[in-house]
Amino acid sequence: METIRLHKGLDLHLKGEAQKKVLQALAPEVVSVKPSDYRSMVPKLLVQEGDTVLAGQFLFSDKKRPQIGFSSPVSGKVKAIVRGEKRKLLAVEIEADKDIRYAQFEPVRVSSASREDIQKVLLESGLWAAIIQRPYGIIANPEDTPKAVVVSGFNSAPLACDVSFALKNDVDAIQIAVDALAKFTSGKVYVNIDAKEDGASPLSMLRNVELTRFKGPHPAGNVGVQINHLCPIGKGEIIWTVQPQALAAIGKLLSKGIYDVSRTVAVTGPRALDPGYVKCVPGTPMSFFRKAAGVQEDEKLYGQPVGVRYVSGNPLCGENVGENGCLGFYDDTVTFLTEGNYRELFGWAKPFRMKKFSTSKSYFSWLAPKKKYEADTNVNGGERAFIVTGVYEKVLPMDIYPVYLLKAILAQDIEKMEQFGIYEVIGEDFALCEYVDPSKIEIQKIVDQGIDLMLKEMA
Amino acid sequence: MNWILKTMDKMRPTFSKGGKLGWLHSTFDAFESFAAVPATTTTGKVQIKDCVDIKRVMSVVIFALFPAFCFGMWNTGDQHSMAFGLQWGFWMKVWYGFYRILPLILVSYIVGLGIEFAVAQVRGHEVNEGYLVTGFLIPLIMPIDIPLWVLALAVAFAVIFGKEIFGGTGMNIWNPALLARAFVFFAYPSTITGDTVWIGGLGKHADKVVDGFSGATPLAQLADTGTSPDFLQMFIGNIPGSFGETSTIAILLGAVLLIWTGVASWKIMVSCVAGALAVGTLAIGFDASVNHLVMGGFAFGAVFMATDPVSSAQTETGKWIYGFLIGAMCIILRLFNPGYREGMMLAILLMNTMAPLIDWCVVRKNIRRREKRAVAAK
């Protein structure tokens, strides 16, 4: 097995890491499915309020690619269809049954099945949405043949879900899924594991895949970084990526014929009282995670009361969903962070800021490299132009000039964006660049804008 | 300390849009965010951010300038007392230096920040911190006797034509502080060249000077007489020159801080020295070229001016080339240009101009690699 060492990057040590235990809570009564989980997808609603649905039944489909549908993770009654401005569909809320009833699909024997058989059941069940393509990070096209399928078998982001813990009983299902995906690609199926875990990762038992160890700090676990080192994407090339927990769901679908997307989710963060893991489906409301892990309600920072931010995802790449939000389709981590809406007198001028971490040596966090910090959501400064150079490259282990790409995006120069590697990145790969940026530029947003522009221009 | 926050809360409505002084909101914001890190929270997918910001980065540079500044105060007094035969003690010399530099700093900040605030106001931007450094750099690279009105004009020119017309800090092509110096050099050459401008009061009271005292900088002395003060004296910096540029040892202290905090690129500094030594060794031999490293503005330029992240090369490979060429160009100008003895300012400004070209070549390689990969895949 090859080991790829990455030297650039940054491991953040934050308080509130999930303990390796499964927390219990009453199953949620209402589960939501949000079109906004799926990048640049315009939904077409297929159900009405009051309809009863089974788990695996479409709620809405992609307007541009109607064969791709999005299913309810639970069975129950459509409680509400939530719309926003200009009647934009925001969410479909399902009142869940106590016991989930599954729509039954035809199980597939992968060894003898053709690509078409597997594709049919993936599309029919709505699990096709779990397959993401690079470039752009959108749902894959069923007509495409990718040059490889790449699976990152671990998370390196701070506080993120431990994939090995979450998947310890699902190796058989994942084996079925990787065997199935191998039929779609002209190349290999790559599965990448953490060099730190080595044999301990359940994924290292997989057969018929190209296993690679990655060693180094975050973002070594980002699939985009791994692709850049294994099989970089050129113009016109396509690679598919699937998250490991989604592989388990694909395996269950192919073997049992049911749409079972339940997963093990890490409930983490400095404001979680008892951080741990829970079993749930995507769309589970935050109230469920609050009950499971508990939330530290009243807290003060610098003498000012600070609230809780509910994030679906990890602190570097997540969505602030609010107290009433829910777990996103692709997320396996929930983080309770401290809202940073406080003012810190002469914060920037203080010689020491013990509560805060900085990569800059002008603060003194380098003296305590193992210390864990209670990160909050304060921006810690105002937005400025690109001034400091060299800081972004230190946390981006890819063969890319980040600032040049970002400036090409800001200038909306498609040709330059291509030249600087827009096909190889999505926002999460730039998360650390944004984290360390002293100019406080919203770098992930810029990358997302660039991708939206490419999608519009290439359509 | 909470009274500061409370006072700001009370004042905010007056300075907000629709308030009596609403048109001054950028100025108010600048002071408010200076006094307290604002309560803004992240809105994107990155939920948390590092606590370093541009204010911190800029204050590191100011700290790094302090040794050179302090030495400059003493040296200004020392040179003055030597020129006029005064028996001054240490603190008297420092006091004289402080008394002479203060007006320069005040003019630099008042004119420069005034323009910055006004432009931020018009554009509706936040006020950039960049000028806090530039405004401190400018007095340090001027002769102490420069007329304040010339300084004010130079600052205005540098800020408006060096920075604001490009869009402010981060968008400029040339180092604004050096542009101010270049402006004086070309528009009012008599205030910044010759042997009488470098020592306080020497121009006005030439009749009272001690016999035999020349006031020439080591570079001028070298060009005119072929000799220079000994290396150690120049290294320590007890020589005539611009206020902050004379002491290489004080500048090196600043360099250590800049490199340690990663605010300035050590690659530029190292390659700048390498470039100077390379050309110098070829032209005048190694020993003579080492002297050039401690003369004039070389050290100050290499540490504080060439490393300005905005106007220098942006790529890591580019920084090596950029620094090397600055060092080389500086020595070429010093050795082969009879009309002008100091080459550092023009070398840096020239390479500022060339930096995007250097980067273009470096980045081009990355693009080629990507293109080749795509062709190979087909």
Predicted local confidence at residue B1, as pLDDT: 63
Residue indicated by tokens 């700290």: B63
User: Which chain B residue is nearest to residue A347, measuring alpha carbons?
Assistant: B37
What's the order of all strands across the beta sheet hosting A30-33? A30-33, A89-96, A76-83, A52-53
CA nearest to A147 within chain B: B377
Is beta strand B36-37 parallel, antiparallel or unpaired with respect to A300-301? unpaired
Alpha carbon of B258: minimum distance to chain A alpha carbons (Å): 9
Q: Give the distance from residue A241's alpha carbon to the nearest chain B alpha carbon, in angstroms.
A: 19
* pTM value surpassing 0.95: no
Distance from CA of A89 to the nearest CA of B (A): 21
Distance of alpha carbon A362 from alpha carbon B58, whole angstroms: 11
Residue B214's region, left for phi above 0, alpha for psi from -120 to 50, else beta, is alpha
Distance from CA of A175 to the nearest CA of B (A): 29
The reported pLDDT for the residue numbered A85 is 92
A17-66 confidence digits (pLDDT tens): 999 999 888 889 999 999 999 998 999 999 999 999 999 999 999 999 99
Per-residue pLDDT, averaged over A224-228, amounts to 94
Which one, of B269, B331, B333, lies nearest residue B304 by Cα? B269
How high is the ipTM of this complex? 0.91
**Cβ separation A384–B128 shorter than 8 A:** yes
pLDDT per residue over A129-185, tens digit each?
999 999 999 999 999 999 999 999 999 999 999 999 999 889 999 999 999 999 999
Angle (CA) A293-A297-A303 rounded to 5° is 140
pLDDT by residue for chain B (378 residues), tens digit each? Answer: 678 888 888 888 888 777 788 777 778 888 888 888 888 999 999 999 999 999 999 999 999 999 999 999 999 999 999 888 888 899 999 999 999 999 999 999 999 999 998 888 888 788 888 899 999 999 999 999 999 999 999 999 999 999 999 888 888 999 999 999 999 999 998 888 877 788 887 878 877 888 777 778 888 888 888 788 888 989 998 899 999 999 999 999 999 999 999 899 999 999 999 999 999 999 988 888 898 999 888 999 999 999 999 999 999 999 999 999 999 999 999 988 877 778 899 999 999 999 999 999 999 998 998 888 777 766
Q: What distance in Å separates residue A350's CA from the closest CA in chain B? A: 9
Paired sense of beta strands A210-215 and A189-194, if any:
parallel
Cβ–Cβ under 8 Å, residues A37 and A328: yes
Give how far A151 is from chain B: nearest CA, Å: 21
Name the nearest CA neighbour of B97 among B178, B199, B192, B190.
Answer: B199
Let me know: does A168 contact A275? Beta carbons within 8 Å.
Answer: no
Positions of CATH 1.10.3430 in chain B: 54-364
Nearest to A137 by CA among A40, A269, A266, A204: A40
Residues 6+ apart with CB under 8 A from B95: B77
Find the mean pLDDT for residues A94-114: 92
Selecting from A343, A353, A443 the residue whose C-beta is nearest the C-beta of B38 gives A343
C-alpha dist (Å) from residue A88 to A44, A80, A82: 10, 14, 9
Q: Of B45, B310, B367, which to mutate for an interface test with A (greatest number of A Cβ within 10 Å)?
A: B45
Residues of chain A in contact with residue B129, where contact means CB-CB under 8 angstroms, are 384
Residues 6+ apart with CB under 8 A from B348: B175, B178, B301, B305, B306, B326, B330
Q: What is the mean pLDDT of chain A?
A: 92
Inter-chain CB proximity B52 and A438 less than 8 Å: yes
Give the C-alpha separation, A120 to A107, whole Å: 11
pLDDT over 80 at A339, yes or no: yes
Q: Give contacts of A385 with chain B, Cβ < 8 Å.
A: 128, 167-171
Number of alpha carbons in the 13 Å side-chain half-sphere of residue B6: 4
B46 with A444: Cβ contact below 8 A: yes
CB contacts, 8 Å: B265 with chain A:
389-390
**pLDDT one-digit tens code per residue, A392-441:** 999 999 989 999 999 999 999 999 999 999 999 999 999 999 999 999 99
CA distance A444 to A241: 20
Q: What is the DSSP letter of A203?
A: G
Looking at beta carbons, which residues of chain B come within 8 Å of A440? 49, 53
Q: What percent of chain A stands above pLDDT 90?
A: 77
Nearest CA distance, B178 vs chain A (angstrom): 18
Chain B hits for A380, CB-CB cut-off 8 Å, are 37, 49-53
Do the Cβ atoms of B261 and A234 come within 8 Å? Answer: no
What is the rounded CA–CA span in Å between residue A174 and residue B68?
64
Residue A401 has its nearest CB partner, among B5, B57, B315, at B315
Angle at A26 between CA A21 and CA A27, to 5 degrees: 100
Q: Which of A234, A316, A389 sits opposite B377 (nearest CB)?
A: A234
* pLDDT tens digits, one per residue of A72-89: 999 999 999 999 999 999
Domains of chain A: 2-13+106-256 (3.40.50), 30-96 (2.40.50), 379-459 (no CATH)
* A to B CB pairs, distance under 8 Å: 219
- DSSP 8-state secondary structure symbol assigned to residue B305: I
Chain B CB contacts of A334 under 8 Å are none
For an interface test with A, which of B53, B60, B269 has the most A Cβ atoms less than 10 Å from its Cβ? B53
| Cβ atoms B362, A393 nearer than 8 A | no
Minimal-distance CA residue of chain B relative to A430: B46
Identify whether the C-beta of residue B115 lies closer than 8 Å to the C-beta of residue B159. yes
Q: Judge if the upstream peptide bond of residue A219 is cis by omega within 30 degrees of 0.
A: yes
pLDDT given at position A164: 92
Distances (CA, A) of B246 to A288, B93, B239: 67, 16, 6
Q: Quick one: fold of B54-364?
A: Ammonium transporter fold (1.10.3430)
